[in-house]
Structure 1
Amino acid sequence: MTLDPPTMLTLSVALAAAAALYLAVEWRSVREASLLFWSGGFAIIAVGCVLALMRGSGLVLVGVWFANGLLVVAHWLFLLGVARFTETRLSRGWYLIVVVWLAMLTLPSDQAWSKVMLMVQSSMIVLVTLRASFLLRPHGKSLSVGAVQLRYVLLGHGLFYLFKVGTAAISGTAIDLVSFRGEIIQISLVEGAIAIMLIALSMTGTERYRREQQIARLANRDPLTALYNRRALEVRAPRLLNQVARHRPGALLLIDIDNFKPVNDLYGHTAGDRLLITLSEMVRAVLPEGSLAARLGGDEFVILLANASSERVEALGTALREQFRHVAAQTFDTPTPVTLSIGATLFDRPPTSLAALIEQGDHALYASKRGGRDSIRLVDRTTTAAAPVTGP
């Protein structure tokens, strides 16, 4: 089989159609918009190659600039897909590329314009492809293997089209887009088929990694508050607890909402859920770096602190109580105030287990509630322990 234009176009149709179909099937299962854009891009490439094949066989349905220009639209859709994947908002200027392409359709379809059209179309592909590659830069964070591959495949693809622009500008270069003649066009067809395969594989790996990350995140997070659930806390807590020492105490704060039931009874469970979400946001706001927070269930939350002190625990607990009391009082009119009770434990030796540590916090929480609620009960279990502290 010779690598003549009809053969390469046929191969490109098969590869692009397969990529479009696969990504569309993936989109139906995960509903990621980036997959839909990428699938649309490959579908347009397949249509463009089919139109080019038909034109080469003497069946002319559309102008040659339309068929070849579909490649620009396809790469523009690739850029939109990458923007959605990286959660980046594109400026309106990038949408002008489609307007420029539509304006080019008014040019005469003859060989004299082939070099100009190749340079303009290739320049637009360079712009959108390099922009897409730039959006996939790591931002200081590690990317998935698929995203890294996609970044460099797009970079190489864009640089190839930049080479095409430079080569087409050389005087005497033979280019005939109408009949697919000229060395640049022959090389482009080969590179295009290879690029379709590599880009499709990279896109698939990129979204698969994203899906795996989402599944793992959902398994570790409380669905209502997005804090860690108990299972995730049990996995992450040992690392923090093993760092505890005399010079680096740890602390656990067990938090419970006082009079939470009347909120559900008077205002409905949706209002109760909103209150839980509000508390979780407050916890995130005061959570120091290197600490852990989780929802154990119901209206009970836990915070694990590293390098803690009684003053630090008191300050954090008091800030949470005061802020929560103020918000709840403004939002809900209940017979008894909706407040927080906190049971805290300060320790300088790793506990036997997280469950044992939570049980100690539970005893302190019970003492807080028994003492009138809306308070923090701190039990100091360090080797230099003083008397237990109760905060109003």
Structure 2
Amino acid sequence: MVLDPFTLLVLTSAMAAASAMYLAAEWSSVRERSLLLWSGGFAIISVGCVLALLRSRGYVLFGIWFPNGLLISAHWLFLAGVASCTRTRLSRAWWLVVVVWLAMLFLPDRPWWSKAMMGTQSPLIAVISLRAGLLLRPQGGTLSVGAAQLRFVLLAHGLFYLAKAGSVVAPDAFINLNNFRGEVIVVSLVEGVMAIMLLAMSMTGTERHRREERIAEIAARDPLTALDNRRALYLRAPELLAKASPASPGALLLIDIDHFKQVNDLHGHDAGDRLLMTLSDLIRIVLPHGALAARLGGDEFVILLRNVSGPAAQALGQGLRESFAQQARTMFETPEPVSLSIGATLFEQPDKELSHWLKRADQALYASKRKGRDRMELVRAVPVMTP
């Protein structure tokens, strides 16, 4: 097969249409807005290529500005998709680019338009592509493989169009967009075919990675309270425990709701769920930066604090206990007051596992229950009891 401009346009149209349908199918299952925007961009490219093919065969349906202008619109949708993927809000200036360009789509053809089109279209595509590539920068970590590839392709695509814009001012540049003649046109079409293939692959890879991250995040969350679940606690705790030392101890608070069964029995399980969510909200309020909180199951919760003294851990636990008791009184009436019992332990040995400290905190929690509930017990090397 000879890769003449007509054949390259056919390939571009077919690949763009296939990419649009594939991304639309992905969107139908995961409903990510970025996939829909990228699918729309490829669909527009396919339509533009078909119009260009018809024009090359003498079927002039629109001015030459129109199919080339569609390419600008497609790249803008690529930018909007990247912005949606990265949770970035585009400034109004980017919307103005679309408005101005759409107004230019219906300009009449003139003998000078080939170079004018290339000199207008190419810088716009370059700026849009480069901006999209720069949005995909690492945020406090590294990019996924798909996002890194998408960033590279967009930046390379943008730089290509910058060079293409520079070719317009070259003295011997021969550009005839109407008949698709000139080396610049052929090179641009080849680059377009490659870019479409790489963009579709990297866009799909980017969203798949994000989907996997969301699935992993959901698997690590308690569905009711949105705190970490037991599995996530055991995965994340070792890093925090390893930082403990006699000079920088941590604390583990094991929390249990007193008389929780009465709430379920008298007011229903929905009331019990509301009470659990209330406690989780209070925990989030008092949780310091770098600490962990998890729901172990039922009405049992854990807080892991780092670099905290005994009095500070006591103050946090007692404040949480008092806030919860006050809210529980206003929410539900029960024969016996709904409150918190807390067992806590300081940890300063990085070689001990989470289960060791949970056992010590459980012993303190048992002491709290035995002494009448609605209290906090903190144990150290020598147990210290606090009312």
Give, in whole Å, the separation in 1 of the partners of 2:236 and 2:123.
50
Deviations 1:273-308 (Å, cap 9, x if unpaired)? 344334323323433444322111122110123444
Q: Which amino acid aligns with 2:13?
A: V
Query: What do the CA deviations read for 1:33-86 (whole angstroms, capped 9, x no partner)?
Result: 111111111111111112211221222333322111111111111111101110
Distance 1:8 1:144 in 2: 32
Runs of 4+ in 1 over 6 A off after TM superposition: none
Q: CA deviation at 1:177?
A: 2.1
Alignment of 1:226-245 (within 5 A): 226-245=226-245
Residues 333-359 of structure 1 show CA distances to partners (whole Å, capped at 9, x for unaligned) of: 524544322111234446875445334
2:333 alignment partner in structure 1: 334
Assess if the C-alpha contact under 8 Å between 1:111 and 1:177 holds in 2. Answer: no
How far 1:269 sits from its partner (Å)?
Answer: 4.4
Q: 1:268-279 maps to which residues of 2 (within 5 A)?
A: 269-279=269-279
- Distance 1:154-1:306 versus aligned 2 partners, 3 A rule: same
Displacement, 1:18?
2.1
Instruction: Report the RMSD for the aligned CA atoms in angstroms.
Output: 2.5
Give the Cα–Cα distance (whole angstroms) in 1 for the partners of residues 174 and 52 of structure 2. 19
Identity of paired residues, percent? 62
Note the alpha carbon deviations across 1:141-174, whole angstroms, 9 max, x for none: 2111111111121111111112222222345633
Matches within 5 A, 1:306-385: 306-329=306-329, 332-335=331-334, 336-349=336-349, 354-380=354-380, 382=381, 385=382
Deviations 1:7-33 (A, max 9, x none): 111111222122222222222222211
CA distance in 2, matches of 1:62, 1:297: 65
**2: distance between equivalents of 1:371 and 1:234?**
30
2:199 equivalent in structure 1: 199
Of the structure 1 ranges 278-287 and 266-275, higher mean CA displacement relative to structure 2 is found in: 266-275
Q: Which deviates more, 46-55 or 341-350?
A: 341-350
Q: CA shift at 1:180, angstroms?
A: 1.7
Q: Report the equivalent of 1:175.
A: 175
* Residues 1:390 and 2:364 aligned together: no
Cα 1:276–1:156 change in 2 (3 A) is: same
| Distance across 1 between alignment mates of 2:327 and 2:92 | 41
Q: What residue in structure 2 maps to residue 155 of structure 1? A: 155
Question: What corresponds to 2:224 in structure 1?
Answer: 224
Query: 1:214-258 CA deviation, whole Å, 9 max, x = no partner?
Result: 121112211222222111222333444455454444432111223
Could you tell me the TM-score, scaled by structure 2's length? 0.90
Residues 264 and 99 from structure 1, CA distance in 2 versus in 1: closer, same or farther, beyond 3 angstroms? farther
Q: Which residue of 2 aligns with 1:107?
A: 107
Distance 2:78 2:218 in 1: 28
Indicate conservation of the 8 Å contact 1:339/1:374, yes or no: yes
SS at the partner of 2:14?
helix
- SS at the partner of 1:111? coil
In structure 2, what is the Cα distance between the partners aligned to 1:277 and 1:185? 62
Q: 1:122 maps to which residue? A: 122
Kindly indicate whether the alpha-carbon contact (under 8 Å) linking 2:13 and 2:49 is maintained by their aligned counterparts in 1: yes
Q: Determine the C-alpha separation between the residues in 1 that align with 2:269 and 2:114.
A: 67
| Residue pair 2:17, 2:42 contacting (<8 A) in 1 also | yes
* 28 and 341 in structure 1: CA distance in 2 versus 1, 3 angstrom threshold: same
Task: Please name the residue that 1:39 is paired with.
Answer: 39
Following superposition, the deviation at residue 326 of structure 1 comes to 4.1
Kept in 2: contact 1:263–1:332 (CA 8 A) = no
- Given that residues 48 and 70 in structure 2 are in contact (C-alpha distance below 8 angstroms), is that contact kept between their aligned partners in structure 1? yes
2:256 aligns with 256
**In 2: Cα distance, 1:243 partner to 1:93 partner:** 48
Find the aligned partners of 1:372 and 1:46 in 2 and give their Cα distance.
74
Whole-angstrom distance in 2 between the partners of 1:173 and 1:6: 21
Secondary structure of the corresponding residue to residue 141 of structure 1: coil
Separation of aligned partners in 1, 2:128 and 2:324: 49
Please give the per-residue CA displacement for 1:82-105, whole angstroms capped at 9, x wherever unaligned: 011101111233222222222112
The correspondence of residues 21-100 of structure 1 with structure 2, limited to 5 A, is 21-100=21-100
Task: Give the conservation status (yes or no) of the 8 Å contact 2:347–2:357.
Answer: no
Q: Measure the CA separation in 1 of the matches of 2:88 and 2:239.
A: 35
Amino acid at match of 2:333: T
Distance 2:278 2:61 in 1: 60
Whole-angstrom CA distance in 1 between matches of 2:52 and 2:268: 63
Match for 2:157: what amino acid?
H
Tell me, what secondary structure is at the counterpart of 1:235?
helix
Q: TM-score, with normalisation over the residues of structure 1?
A: 0.89
Work out the CA distance in 1 between the residues paired with 2:266 and 2:53.
Answer: 70
Whether the aligned pair in 2 keeps the contact of 1:111 and 1:176 (CA below 8 Å) is no
Contact 2:66 2:106 in 1 (8 A): no
Q: Partner of 1:254: helix, strand, or coil?
A: strand
Query: Given the superposition, is the C-alpha separation of residues 140 and 173 from structure 1 closer, same or farther in structure 2, using an over 3 Å criterion?
Result: same
Partner of 2:139: 139
Q: Distance in 1 between matches of 2:340 and 2:120?
A: 66
> In the alignment, does 2:199 pair up with 1:212?
no
Report the alpha carbon displacement of residue 371 of structure 1 after superposing the two structures with TM.
2.9
1:262 Cα offset (Å): 5.2
SS of residue in 2 equivalent to 1:343: strand
Tell me the matched-pair count.
386
Counterparts of 1:224 and 1:296, CA distance in 2: 12
Partner SS, residue 26 of structure 1: helix
Gaps of 5+ in 1: none
